[in-house]
Chains A and B, each alone.
Chain A
Amino acid sequence: MSASALETREGVEVRLEGLHREFSGVRALDGLDLTLRPGELVALLGPSGCGKTTALRLVAGLDDPDSGRVVVGDRDVTHVPANRRDMGMVFQAYSLFPHLTAQQNVEFGLKLRRVDRSKRAGRARQMLELVGLASQADRFASQLSGGQQQRVALARALAIQPAVLLLDEPLSALDAKVRAQLRDEIRRVQLEVGTTTLFVTHDQEEALSISDRVGVMNQGRLEQLAPPEELYTAPSTAFVAAFVGLMNRIPCRVEAGRASVLGATVRVTDRSVTSGEGIAMVRPEQLVVEASDAGSAEVLQVSFLGSVTHVRVRTADGHELLSQANGAEAARLTVHTPVRVRLVADQLLVSSD
């Protein structure tokens, strides 16, 4: 597991420019622009069918765009066949060659590159060690668990030291615990080798926890590309706000760049509605609930989630809100408890829809 096992390689920049792809009337990609900085790990997040896989396949050269370009470094690879793109890909599932052992699977790409036998075997072994599977090197795919198979697939993709690493929901077939473990492993290895990586997932936690930046896609386009914290605290569109994490949508009025929400007045963010009616996007943790006989809201439901407790309340004007409470406060809340709801935020996104 030593870093010296891996020759690190300068990461390259990857640019997706105006990619369009249509499948018999369905616009899978509708002008996707996305730039990955050298050595960075970007997670692509989005609802099912938004075009994530399509984007990845275009980068890998497994499919051709109707228009647009894929540029790696300063080379336009749009029309370069997949087998000459020098990209490592890990598929969602079942991509190990079933007639080869784990070791032989990892050696496959090296063999194609005419790396000689002993060097090849050595390198494959290093890779298997890196993913913690050295002891299973002689097993066939059918003798490995799903998680182990995915780790071999990762080792196989890394063995060829690709310029770019592409991961299409590599963890979605696994159970939660293995998923968390393998996800951290992927990040560790990626940092170690410094390969520019595009990681497709529909699991927010996965995306937010391991990536340098997260891209949120919707209907074939990129909505926002930002570091995880920024995406969470300052979503630039209503879609991103609603898609990432839990969000309350509270109608409000905006005047002179300030919105009045739940009796408080807060600054609105750049992309917000500047005046008139709008909908404020408020995170549960931005709402504080306190038991109070004078409170005009009422508790509907209290859900204990382990580290935090979610409290669903109804305000006097009939809106349902989700808020978060800490253990001590939550203990005093039960259904029908009258409460006061307070907004704790410096600025809010107020969208028009």
Chain B
Amino acid sequence: MTLPRQRRARRQRAFRIVTFVVLGAFFLIPLVSMVDFSTRGTAGSGRTGEAWGALLHDPELTAAIITSLELAALTVIGMVLLLVPTMVWVRLRVQWAARMVEFLCLLPLTIPALVIVVGIAPVYAWVTYFLGGSALTLTFAYVVLVLPYAFRSLDAGLSAIDLTTLSEAARSLGAGWFTVIARVVVPNIVSALLSAAFISVALVLGEFTFASLLHYDNLQVVIAFFGKSNAKVSVSASLAALIFGFVLLLLLSLLGRGRKGRRTTAIEPLAVTTPAGKEVKG
């Protein structure tokens, strides 16, 4: 005789297995296909690593990879310089602005990246005028792009420490504001900074919209460009970028695990974890 509860548990397990298997297939098949596609031999049979070799040897591709990595690094620096002092300052001295800063930081989630690109072209005319036409000027736009995600990580990190006491203690020992931020606050929010940096790097490496419409060559633009002539290289480069991004984001989710445990209630978190209506995919 089976009890109702056992029947329910069994039904649930069956449902779980079916769901995981079917959706697992849906999510894995494209990835496996990429491996297959990018290693396929020219005659339609056999395997070759050519398309993967191109990642290191094709000058256009390697240049684009380097550009994207530089952009990622610059974006992280820009993001930290803009966000950390502001957020610390708001918490310590201008509390009334806290809601406003949060709102502003999350705003890029609701203004589609495409819209910003359309309007930013005239601004970029000035940027080019002052700083030249290097692709690295994309950093300015990318800092805005990563703002919401970086804000969330840093906000969680700053909430977890007693900022006021820390800074008062440091200042009573004679530290200036710069020292407070660089020597006292930053070391205490290292893991939050790392998450913010990881997500920023992942986003920048996948970014396409800004670069392509402002006519700069970053990794994604070059991958898309290759798609017309040599799809295999595009696929291998996509997969490589993907795996790199996966690793970053997985590290991120591991980092996040260490810090959680504060969240208690319930249904509202919709507002907490939403990469809202937003082009996050480059």
Q: Which residues of A contact B (CB under 8 A)?
A: 63-64, 79, 81
Contact = CB atoms under 8 A, between A and B. Distances in A.
B3, B4, B6 pick with most chain A CB within 10 angstroms: B4
Contacts of B5: 63-64
Interface in B24-62: none
B173 interface: no
Interface class of chain B by DSSP: helix
B115 interface: no
Interface in B1-29: 1, 3-6
7 contacts: A63-B5, A64-B3, A64-B5, A64-B6, A79-B1, A79-B3, A81-B4
Interface of B: 1, 3-6
B9 to A, nearest CB: 11
A63 B3 CA distance: 10
Nearest to B1: A79
Nearest to A84: B4
B51 to A, nearest CB: 51
A110 B117 CA distance: 59
Interface class of chain A by DSSP: loop
A63 B8 CA distance: 12
Nearest to A81: B4
Contacts of B3: 64, 79
A79 B1 CA distance: 10
Contacts of A64: 3, 5-6
A187 B1 CA distance: 40
A37 to B, nearest CB: 29
A79 B2 CA distance: 9
Contacts of A79: 1, 3
Nearest to B3: A64
A320 B249 CA distance: 63
Contacts of A81: 4
Contacts of B4: 81
A11 B165 CA distance: 61
Nearest to A80: B4
A9 B5 CA distance: 30
Contacts of B1: 79
A205 B6 CA distance: 39
A-B CB proximity, top 6 nearest? A81-B4, A64-B3, A64-B5, A79-B3, A79-B1, A63-B5
A64 B6 CA distance: 9
B4 to A, nearest CB: 5
B32 to A, nearest CB: 38
Nearest to B267: A98
A348 B182 CA distance: 72
B220 to A, nearest CB: 45
A46 to B, nearest CB: 25
Contacts of B6: 64
A83 to B, nearest CB: 9
B270 to A, nearest CB: 16
A64 B2 CA distance: 11
A81 B3 CA distance: 8
A173 to B, nearest CB: 15
A350 to B, nearest CB: 46
Nearest to A63: B5
Nearest to A62: B5
Contacts of A63: 5
Nearest to B5: A64
B259 to A, nearest CB: 26
Nearest to A64: B3
A64 B9 CA distance: 13
B3 to A, nearest CB: 5
A198 to B, nearest CB: 21
A149 B55 CA distance: 64
A326 B1 CA distance: 63
B135 to A, nearest CB: 52
B17 to A, nearest CB: 22
Nearest to A79: B3
A125 B5 CA distance: 34
A125 to B, nearest CB: 29
B49 to A, nearest CB: 50
A64 B5 CA distance: 8
A225 B5 CA distance: 31
A178 to B, nearest CB: 23
